[in-house]
Amino acid sequence: MTSFRLPNICLFKILNLILDIEYLPLKYKLSLCSISKSVFQYISKSQFTTLNLLKYQNIQCTEVIRHLSSPQCAIQYIYDLKLNIDTYSSTVKEHIRAIDKLKNYKLNSLYIIQKNYNFTLNLSDLSPLVNLKELTINVTDLISCPFVYFDPMYIPKITKLNLFFLRVSVNSQLIPNIIQLLKQVEQSIEDLYLFPGIRNNQLYQFLKSYAVGRLVKLRMNSYVPLDLLLNQKETLQDLDLGFVYQSSFTIQSSILEFIDQNQTLHTVSVSIGDSKAFNAMVRVINSKKNILHLSIRYQGNGHSTISSQDGAGYLVNGKEEFEFTHLHSLALTSDYHVIESFLISLSRQTLSTQSTLKHIDLKHLNFINCFVLPTYSLNYFLARNGTITKLEYGFNTSYLTESESEIISHFIANSKVLQEIIFNIYQFQNKLRPNKLSPKQTKLFSKLHESPTLQYIEIKLYSQTSKPLNKIKHLPKHPFILVKKTDKSLCFDRYGVDYDHKPSTIPTSTNNIFKNIKNKILKC
């Protein structure tokens, strides 16, 4: 019998197709390392490059480090490291030094949660992190000033800096350290995240002239210096000002003017507290063809009106309606009236094949009381949807009757273009309103298998019980196959793998995966 030797370049291409399948078990992917030494090295360098120690205790951490030291371990090249500094300083330093020896000085991303108030992680104690590009520091309850800093002789070219401070006072001693770190990375920074934006005058003044013409992405709260935005006018592509201290916050007109004048932005996230600012935002977004993705948190009240000026929107039957003319995706968090009006308006827009909107994500401001999210207008939209291929929507199944949930499932299944749906299921009880139905009896997913277009279903569960997954009886049926399961989510895929075309026969999940891979290879 003639033997056939597959060239490595073809073998690695096949491996990439297999490893890229998100839903394959990790153990199976690891088992591929036993094919040959070259495959072991290839997978080690390209796939298993993240080490997450956020949830490990001291003893477990030691065992992990010991295992990583073994030449048989597939995790030999650590590019992304996540640490939880919540133990004795000497132990943490030993772990970091051990990991430092394994990573071959190629660490690209470092994520640190710091809870130990008596320990400061000095990165200069490690080998120079010359390849570090991304640094995330999460200080959860820090009052004094221990902090992370770099050796001035070896400052890496950080392009992404995330600083999360849950409790930092305006006059905190930590502010000078934050400014010092910002100075160290100023020449290379492209993506900056400050949460929350600290209302400190020293930091505010410093940011006014920070990283001129360098930032591509900026995430802060509303307390952002206008000069910082103006200095990024030619480079900024993603602006996130979605976090606010108060629900009644109204976006500054100067920020709207910046968005209106900017020609590079394609993604915007904002929070708005009144209808006047909301009207202005809709008009600005509709006038900017470069903005394709919008996330908006709007504290609507059901009584405000949308002006018809410049075609931004109109008032119908005492309820505000509005439309976006060229967005590709929209995430809207608001109250019943705003979401209802948007769905009715969207029903008209999507009847036209010229609509550009493909993805919508709708959430209620108060998820516990999200039973007030409109169901009639959702069904009305689903029956007329001609363009939306991905929908994310929130339900409190405790307040949907069996028939109501089944009707919604029917409309979803009969949508002609919907390919992906994400359910945010909230199983919280409200004392002011009794349950209509036990959450486990919901039929929200009972008709989805009848859909000719749906390819992917995800169910995200938020519940007061510890194991809500075990309580849901009517889950999606064949041809949908459960491909991923966690304590809080379920993922179903048509036939187990995304298909461009429905196969003529229904294969098993394993055969299906490899048939799909073979078809892709033959197309190469």
* Cβ within 8 Å of residue 119, ≥6 positions away: 85, 88, 89, 92, 146
Q: Which of 313, 382, 309 is nearest to 345 (CA)?
A: 313
User: Residue 39 in contact with residue 33, Cβ under 8 Å?
Assistant: yes
Here the contacts of 21-25 (C-beta below 8 Å, separation 24 or greater) are 21/497, 21/513, 22/484, 23/483, 23/484, 23/491, 23/493, 23/496, 23/497, 24/513
Confidence at residue 145, expressed as pLDDT on a 0 to 100 scale = 47
Most confident residue range from 110-114, 213-217, 471-475: 213-217
User: Residue 51 in contact with residue 78, Cβ under 8 Å?
Assistant: yes
- Rounded (10°) angle between helices 376-384 and 402-413: 20
Lowest mean pLDDT among 253-267, 308-322, 443-457: 308-322
Top-confidence residue, 459 or 75: 459
Confidence at residue 196, expressed as pLDDT on a 0 to 100 scale = 64
User: Residue 51 in contact with residue 82, Cβ under 8 Å?
Assistant: yes
**pLDDT one-digit tens code per residue, 66-100:** 777 778 888 777 788 787 765 444 555 565 666 55
Band (pLDDT 50/70/90 cuts) for residue 466 is: low
- Eight-state DSSP code of residue 245: S
SS3 content of the chain, % helix, strand, coil (to 5): 35, 20, 45
Output the DSSP codes for 413-427.
HT-SS--EEEEEEEE
Q: Which of 261, 312, 251, 311 is nearest to 290 (CA)?
A: 261
Q: What would the two tokens of residue 309 be?
A: 């000026």
Q: Which residue has the tokens 């019998």?
A: 1
Mean pLDDT of 152-170: 78
319-505: which CATH number, 3.40.50, 1.10.1200, 1.20.1300, 3.80.10?
A: 3.80.10
Number of H helices, E strands in the chain: 14, 19
Confidence at residue 505, expressed as pLDDT on a 0 to 100 scale = 43
Report the C-alpha gap between 417 and 90 in whole angstroms. Answer: 58
Lowest mean pLDDT among 205-214, 386-395, 399-408: 399-408
Top-confidence residue, 84 or 157: 157
Mean pLDDT of 479-483: 89
User: Residue 122 in contact with residue 149, Cβ under 8 Å?
Assistant: yes
Confidence at residue 497, expressed as pLDDT on a 0 to 100 scale = 58
Q: Which residue has the tokens 């600012």?
A: 277
Report the C-alpha gap between 320 and 342 in whole angstroms. Answer: 8
Confidence at residue 71, expressed as pLDDT on a 0 to 100 scale = 80
**Amino acid identity, position 207:** L
State yes or no: pLDDT of 317 exceeds 50: no
| First and final C-alpha spacing in the chain | 28
Find the length of the chain.
524
**pLDDT one-digit tens code per residue, 32-50:** 888 888 888 888 888 877 7
Dmax (CA) for the chain in angstroms is 81
- What are the beta bridge partners of residue 51? 81
- Eight-state DSSP code of residue 487: S
Compute the half-sphere exposure of residue 489: CA atoms within 13 Å on the CB side of its CA.
10
User: Residue 67 in contact with residue 73, Cβ under 8 Å?
Assistant: yes
Mean pLDDT of 352-372: 74
